[in-house]
Structure 1
Amino acid sequence: MQNLLSSPIAPTLKRMTLPICLGMVMLMSFNLVDTFFISLLGTEPLAAISFTFPVTFSIISMVIGLGIGTSAVLGRFAGQGKSEEAKAHGTAAIYLTALLVASLSLVTFLLADEIFSLLGASDAQIRLVMEYMNLWLLGSVFLALPMVGNAVFRANGETKLPSLYMALGGAINAVLDPLLIFGIGPFPEMGISGAALASVISFFIGSVIIITVLANRHGLINWFPSAGLLQAWQRILNIALPAAGANMLTPLAMAVMTAMVASYGAAAVAAYGVGTRLESIASLVVLALSMSLPPLVSQNHGAGNWLRVREAYLLAIKFVMIWQGVVYLLLLATGGFIASAFSQDESVADIIMLFILILPFGYGFQGVTILTNSSFNALHQPHRALLLSFARFFLFFVPLAYLGGQWFGIQGLFLGGLVGTILTGVIAFCWFRKQLNLHLQEA
């Protein structure tokens, strides 16, 4: 495991981030692989799966928030040398995750028709959506447990093992998808529900492996919670609830955007669904850094090493701006191939190209906002992260996208979203740098 209090920052971040990137390539393939194979079924199934993304990502966002709270609490204990407290809180986090995800999935299942109607899905589309969602919701707890288990690993400076487990889950899903969707060999032809079943099987295998390794091999959690469970939950939730709220603003904004895009027809919804999945792949390095940076920030926060906190943050920001610029150029160069690969419908392909031309230009600024959010959470300042996320979506991104759409159609909608992303990134950087300077002056 990495020594996060004394090792050189740039090599440490590199060693922690690269394994996460490799694992996330496979993990994010869940959505992209599902989208690709479902696109072969036609435009209507592709549009249906696009409606699921805001809902599934809402649950995932809550789990990400729990992971952030877990990592921040455990990282601070690790920085203070309190290993037993870290172990007890890691165990509490696993049980808390299972309880909350099961509850949210049940509520989602009971209100599914109302939710997807609000997103703009027709009755026929809702029937297709629920073929996917019924199985996905049933297995959602098994998606959540590996994610929080990986946060326990990362809080202790270990990133290689979580990445291997993420890669394994993605590989299993990629193999099972075509078998279950199209009924290859002895497998039944399940259509869109086959994609959900493939994911659930992957989730379950990952849960069994990660929990067993955490408890038996590394001793970072116990099989059963110890005394003080409620107090441990409270410490985690103090950070996790605002962090989850901030993360759940993302799918809420996506839901609003999906509803706005739905006014342009099924082809626009299908194209937008492809675009959002491309965004998850294009931003994987940013997301990996948002997982590797907080443990370093948390442990040095616990030890009072504010100069290392500032150095790590600024280094990550500079790298992300350069990296995402390169990603944008690559997307422009390969946009035609991507559009044709995901749809033979010319109207869908044209909107995919429009998406690629406009929104990825702001991915660097989006990365600044994401890293600033994760750094605020690592400093145990989740309410600042929540406020920043709210401003990002509901003061800038969604309102400007709406205005652009009213004036210039779907092209204006994308341009308005781009302007909102850039404005938020600039504000986020200035705000966090000001907070760091205040901490350094106090120190």
Structure 2
Amino acid sequence: MTFGLVDTFFVSLLGTEELAAISFTFPVTFTLISLNIGLGIGTSATIARYLGSGKSYLAREFGTGALMLSLLLVGSLAVIGFLTVDPIFRLLGASSEQMVHIKDYMYVWYLAGVFLAFPMVGNSILRAAGDTKTPSIIMAAGGLINAVLDPLLIFGYGPVPALGIQGAAIATMIAWGSGCAYILYLLVHKRQLILPRLLTLPEFRQTSSEILKIGLPAAGANMLTPIANGILTAIVATYGAEAVATWGVGNRLESIASIVILALSMSLPPFISQNYGAGKLHRVKQAYMLCIGFVLIWQLLIFVLMWLASPYIAMAFAEEKKVAELIQLFLLIVPLGYGLQGVIILTNSSFNALHRPMSALWLSILRLFVFFVPISYLGSLVYELAGMFWAGVLANLMTACVAFLWFRHRLEYEQKLHDQNVREVMS
């Protein structure tokens, strides 16, 4: 998340057209990142199971297969993206002037995206083995490298030429490439969590099929977000480059503002799964309700802070007065819905923890394509950008209510099944 935010900040210093160009790239780049996230989820779940059962050799084999699979799939998607830059971004509404900057950025970024596959999937292997600290250090170090190189490569210094928006993509590529090299060294030599060779074709088929059973639905659910964001970006583009620049800055600020929600979405599911397996559904309900209450209060505080700081945040990311005004408008409205969005995200991850991935997928579809995109579009027709921002808050409210009631109903059903099983055992 800091990669996108740091890139956006430094590129914003180049001008509105460059800021609008990098804002157009968000839904596309997040699509490739979503594939990495899905493969990481499938990898972690599969390897953790084998390590827990004492089958360490199979765990190493599946770790190797996961890295090979990620390289194959992410590499293929990157090649497709590289060849379709022009039609995809034209479809999103980019102008000819913006396309120049988009091509400079994306042609390099697609190569960087392949380097990202190894750290993301490799970090999932480390987490499956019980190490959550090292992945954080690896990604934080990459973010630091990117932050140091961004101004150097974008604006130039001494013998280093000013590369503009392309410099941001090169900085990202170097940072992720460094992480890629280190994670391979760590997994092969230091931790020996993967095999020091490529898998045979039968081995690769076996490992890939098992990882994809979990990874593909997870990746698909994650990919819905950038698809919906791409549609909304196309709507925003009708209001000009300033509006697109605002939308891009807002999306990246949203990622940072929602970081606690995402942290809970990773820590709540194992707690729910363990208690669900133990038949302690009252603890599942308690944990879910506690987290829902917490995120609503926490994100309300975040909204107040962003509301108070909105003039200063707008000035930091915008040179032009109109862009600054639109960013401030975004910050005065959209963050009000972050707590409601947290309810949706936590409910989604809780459905996965109850082994109901299709419920999680349907909730994502409902949120994005039944509520969020249609209502936001209608809001934009009625009251332009301000209407679109308020409509997004309304869509989150409606989806959060559905998600909360749906999950409570699921818990009641699971409780009835559990009670019935207990009575049958006792009889």
Q: Which one-letter code corresponds to 1:360 in the other structure?
A: P
1:182 matched to 2:151? The reply is: no
Q: Which one-letter code corresponds to 1:409 in the other structure?
A: E
Instruction: Return the alpha-carbon distance in structure 1 between the equivalents of residues 294 and 59 of structure 2.
Output: 31
CA distances 1:347-398 after superposition (whole Å, capped 9, x unpaired) = 1111111111111111111112222223333444322222111111100001
Question: Match of 1:127?
Answer: 100
- Quote the offset at 1:262 in angstroms: 0.7
1:220 matched to 2:205? The reply is: no
- Asked whether the 8 Å contact 2:13–2:319 carries over to 1, the reply is no
1:342 matched to 2:317? The reply is: yes
Instruction: Return the alpha-carbon distance in structure 2 between the equivalents of residues 251 and 212 of structure 1.
Output: 32
- Asked whether the 8 Å contact 1:79–1:300 carries over to 2, the reply is no
- Quote the offset at 1:192 in angstroms: 0.4
- Within-5 A mapping of 1:7-406: 28-77=1-50, 82-224=55-197, 225=199, 228-297=203-272, 309-406=284-381
TM-score normalised by the chain length of structure 2: 0.91
Instruction: Return the alpha-carbon distance in structure 2 between the equivalents of residues 141 and 343 of structure 1.
Output: 31
- Asked whether the 8 Å contact 1:75–1:298 carries over to 2, the reply is no
Instruction: Return the alpha-carbon distance in structure 2 between the equivalents of residues 247 and 213 of structure 1.
Output: 28
CA RMSD of aligned residues (A): 2.1
Segments of structure 2 that go 5 or more residues without pairing to the other structure are: 419-427
- Asked whether the 8 Å contact 2:125–2:193 carries over to 1, the reply is yes
- Asked whether the 8 Å contact 2:228–2:373 carries over to 1, the reply is yes
Instruction: Return the alpha-carbon distance in structure 2 between the equivalents of residues 82 and 436 of structure 1.
Output: 33
Identity over the aligned pairs, expressed in percent?
56
Q: Which one-letter code corresponds to 1:113 in the other structure?
A: D
- Asked whether the 8 Å contact 2:17–2:97 carries over to 1, the reply is no
- Quote the offset at 1:306 in angstroms: 5.2
Q: Which one-letter code corresponds to 2:400 in the other structure?
A: G
Instruction: Return the alpha-carbon distance in structure 1 between the equivalents of residues 135 and 9 of structure 2.
Output: 26
CA distances 1:54-106 after superposition (whole Å, capped 9, x unpaired) = 10011111111112222333344455565444443333222211111000011
Q: Which one-letter code corresponds to 2:20 in the other structure?
A: A
| 289-298 vs 187-196, which moves further | 289-298
Segments of structure 1 that go 5 or more residues without pairing to the other structure are: 1-27
Q: Rate the CA distance shift 1:246–1:122 in 2: closer, same or farther, 3 A.
A: same
Instruction: Return the alpha-carbon distance in structure 2 between the equivalents of residues 86 and 75 of structure 1.
Output: 8
- Asked whether the 8 Å contact 1:50–1:272 carries over to 2, the reply is yes
| 211-220 vs 238-247, which moves further | 211-220
Q: Secondary structure at the match of 1:139?
A: helix
- Quote the offset at 1:417 in angstroms: 1.0
Q: Rate the CA distance shift 1:222–1:357 in 2: closer, same or farther, 3 A.
A: same
Q: Rate the CA distance shift 1:388–1:80 in 2: closer, same or farther, 3 A.
A: farther
Q: Rate the CA distance shift 1:321–1:245 in 2: closer, same or farther, 3 A.
A: same
- Asked whether the 8 Å contact 1:76–1:301 carries over to 2, the reply is no
Q: Which one-letter code corresponds to 2:8 in the other structure?
A: T
CA distances 1:195-219 after superposition (whole Å, capped 9, x unpaired) = 0000000001111212322333333
Question: Match of 1:18?
Answer: none
Q: Rate the CA distance shift 1:317–1:436 in 2: closer, same or farther, 3 A.
A: same
